[in-house]
Amino acid sequence: MTGRNQQGSEPTGLAMFARYAFPPNERGYCGPDDQGFALRNAATTTPGDVANLAQSFSGAWPYLEFIADETGNRDPLDASVVEAYWLGVGVIDEVDLSVNGAALFGRLGPQAGWTLDHLDGAIDAGALPHHGFHVFEVYPWAGLLSTGRPKPLRILDQCRIRWGRVVSVDSDMVVVRSRPLTWDGDTLGLGSPRLESVRLEEGGLSLRIIPKPGEWVALHWDWLCDRLPPRHLNALRRSTRRQLEITSRRFG
């Protein structure tokens, strides 16, 4: 998969989308049935091919189109739109769900298959339409936290885009120090840093990122997706904390 090279140049919007979309697609959760084959080989596909594949991600694509429309961008796969969706950075602050959110929710409702009535409270609290919003407000798992079962919390933690700092690098695995999602029965938060292992490569499939110890990186499910420059790291931290506060209000 193409994108940020080993020297740290900025990835294209297509490559950035592919890196963050690949981990859930590899698990069969969303996207095309080929489990990201064309996305993983974005270097040899045309932009049109990748764009067509991106449209099959029924969770992400409506947001990309919505953010592009709301910010005057004609391309849903422009880097500014893609980073806004996955990381809550940049132009996402220009989007007001209270104004045109119905256009987005009209697409998400039939796909979700459950009521989205609680979104009014999230909008009133200042929610922004990024991936964290989709994970904690549109997916049903936050609503299942009250069952006391570990699975909802585990899925929410893995499905959100999270950050970590590289401790060590093996040939196909990386050990990072990251903060896990916590739930005390009333409030979602972030726990103390702990070590976790994430993948760089498996079965000959690689996202072509070679991080170094000490670097901050983005994690999605059990894959390392990209390096996080300060602007992206700060935005991801901010958007995550903001969303956790908004979601926790549902249980207060």
For the ranges 19-28, 36-45, 124-133, 149-158, the lowest mean pLDDT is seen at 36-45
**Which two three-digit tokens encode residue 247?**
């979601």
pLDDT at residue 123 is higher than 70: yes
List the Cα angle 48/54/60 in 5-degree steps: 150
For the ranges 60-69, 108-117, 127-136, 150-159, the lowest mean pLDDT is seen at 108-117
Which residues, in sequence order, are bridge partners of residue 163? 218
* Structural domain spans, the chain: 13-251
Condensed to tens digits (0 to 9), the pLDDT of residues 204-215 reads 777 778 899 999
**Which two three-digit tokens encode residue 108?**
């998400």
pLDDT at 2: 38
Tokens 């919505």 appear where? 66
pLDDT at residue 223 is higher than 80: yes
